[in-house]
Amino acid sequence: MRKKIFNYLESNRQKVIALLASLIAIPTVNPPGKNYERMVDFLRRRCNDLGLKTKQYVTPRRVLRKFAVGAGSKRVSLLADLDTGAKKTLHIASHYDVVPPTDKWATDPFKAVVKGNRLYGRGSEDMKGNIACVLFAIRAIKRLNIKPKLNLQVSFTPDEEIGGRTGLGYLVEKGLVRADYAMSEGYSGRCVSMGNKGVIWAEVSVTGKACHASIPHRGVNAFERMTMLSRELEGLKKKIEKRKSRFNMRDNISRSPSLVMGGLLEGGIKVNVVPGLARFSIDRRLIPEEDTRAAQKEIEGVIKEFNARYKDSRASVKFCSIEAPSISPKDKVFFRTVSDAVKQLTGKSARFCVMPGATDMRYFMWKGVPSLGYSAGGGEGWHSDNEFVYIDSLIDTTKLYALVMAGME
């Protein structure tokens, strides 16, 4: 079976590339969320051609309002099923939205460009490459008359790039998906992701007293106070970086939590005015051993001490998003099947790791579904300029999904 799958996919390399190029050509940029209906229509036709039964869901407006999603396309999700009559189902999830390109691309970001072993295009790695892999893996097992021992369900959802609550998160929460086991994007090569760090996003505001810049002694400079507060938060950053997770990470530095300030900055109204208000963001990543509430209290504690020290200004924090760390429950058969597939590709058993970033797989993990992530690898700068995927990795990932589909019991 392995030889048949590998031979089929090697002989169809150009078709896998062509499929990915077609996906890249539909610019599903988020925000605001463009061309979603067009993408789902394309995917629905592809799934129907494979003999899959499809169903579409539109995320209700009330859910969009709850998560402050207003602009762009309708939030359309597609489910496609291959029912084998089995008792259990393997669900493979993909998101089709991509982050906006910058003006620094060397090529048209929505036109696939092949240079050697690299295919360039926005979404080639995150994660339209995986969509091509999953669809072509299903095509391979169908063409080779291999009947999976499990039912297969695949999902194509929006909005992962803005948190996923209005995409896969909505489908999982409403019980619209079937999943005894789940897979989606993750690592590549030997590494398979089996968890995500937690994420806390916060906005810190510092209020001072505005006045004319010619008489700064009459005001309190919110920008200066903000920089002072950021230095105190730097002390918290150094403290948490000393913590280490017991879970595998692909590199040692990722085993620590992180705290990033200033991804968003705001303040001031005019060059000759002492600023009375300044704001900055915090991105706090939590290792699995950490608790979200305890992490919030650490940030609040620094701000409380700062306010006690400086009575003529006021700092406050608003937590905008709080996502707990997620770890997959272990299932011997599932983990062994994926590890065996990795070994057939790389010659070595899989190394299961926690990812520093958050993916849609957390929605399954939170529900207790054994969930693993594997992706076609590229520059590992998923949101960077000139995103690319290695073509060899694209084909290998297609092989892995086909092996798992065919071998999972």
Q: Where are the beta strands (DSSP E) in 129-257?
A: 151-157, 181-187, 191-196, 198-207, 211-212
Q: Which ranges of 50-188 does DSSP label H, i.e. alpha helix?
A: 61-66, 128-143, 168-173
Report the sign of the C-alpha dihedral through residues 297, 281, 94, 68, in that order. positive
Q: Give the DSSP letter of residue 99.
A: P
Question: Which one-letter amino acid corresponds to residue 232?
Answer: E
If asked whether residues 357 and 242 sit together in one domain, one would say: no
If asked whether residues 9 and 146 sit together in one domain, one would say: yes
Q: Give the DSSP letter of residue 82.
A: E
pLDDT at 104: 87
Find the CATH number of the domain harbouring 282: 3.30.70.360
If asked whether residues 272 and 342 sit together in one domain, one would say: no
**Residue that terminates a domain, selected from 323, 352, 383:** 323
Find the CATH number of the domain harbouring 88: 3.40.630.10
How far apart are alpha carbons 204 and 306 in whole angstroms? Answer: 12
How far apart are alpha carbons 54 and 119 in whole angstroms? Answer: 29
If asked whether residues 87 and 209 sit together in one domain, one would say: no
**Residue that terminates a domain, selected from 294, 323, 352:** 323
Q: Provide the 3-class DSSP secondary structure of residue 7.
A: helix
Q: Which two tokens mark 271?
A: 């060059």
Number of Cβ within a 10 Å radius of residue 35:
17
If asked whether residues 252 and 381 sit together in one domain, one would say: no
If asked whether residues 251 and 314 sit together in one domain, one would say: yes
If asked whether residues 174 and 209 sit together in one domain, one would say: no
If asked whether residues 389 and 307 sit together in one domain, one would say: no
pLDDT at 379: 73
If asked whether residues 66 and 188 sit together in one domain, one would say: yes
pLDDT at 320: 93
Q: Which two tokens mark 96?
A: 């089709």
CA distances for 112 relative to 10, 156, 205, 309, 398, angstroms: 20, 21, 43, 56, 18
The β-bridge partners of 281 are 203
Q: What is the mean pLDDT of each run of 10 residues along the chain (409 residues)?
A: 96 98 98 97 98 98 95 97 97 97 91 97 96 98 96 98 96 98 96 97 98 98 98 98 96 96 96 98 98 98 98 97 96 97 96 94 97 89 79 98 94
pLDDT at 381: 54
How far apart are alpha carbons 121 and 108 in whole angstroms? Answer: 7
Q: Are 16 and 394 in contact (CB under 8 A)?
A: yes
Question: Which one-letter amino acid corresponds to residue 342?
Answer: V
pLDDT at 380: 59
Tally the domains of the chain.
Answer: 2
Q: Nearest-CA neighbor of 110 among 39, 14, 160, 56?
A: 39
Q: What is the pLDDT of residues 63-91, one digit of tens each?
A: 999 999 989 999 999 999 999 999 999 99
How far apart are alpha carbons 216 and 93 in whole angstroms? Answer: 56
Q: Are 278 and 223 in contact (CB under 8 A)?
A: yes
If asked whether residues 232 and 366 sit together in one domain, one would say: no
DSSP secondary structure string, 383-402? TSTT-EEEHHHHHHHHHHHH
Q: Are 344 and 365 in contact (CB under 8 A)?
A: no
The whole domain housing 250 covers: 198-323
**Residue that terminates a domain, selected from 323, 340, 375:** 323
How far apart are alpha carbons 76 and 39 in whole angstroms? Answer: 9
If asked whether residues 106 and 156 sit together in one domain, one would say: yes
If asked whether residues 187 and 311 sit together in one domain, one would say: no
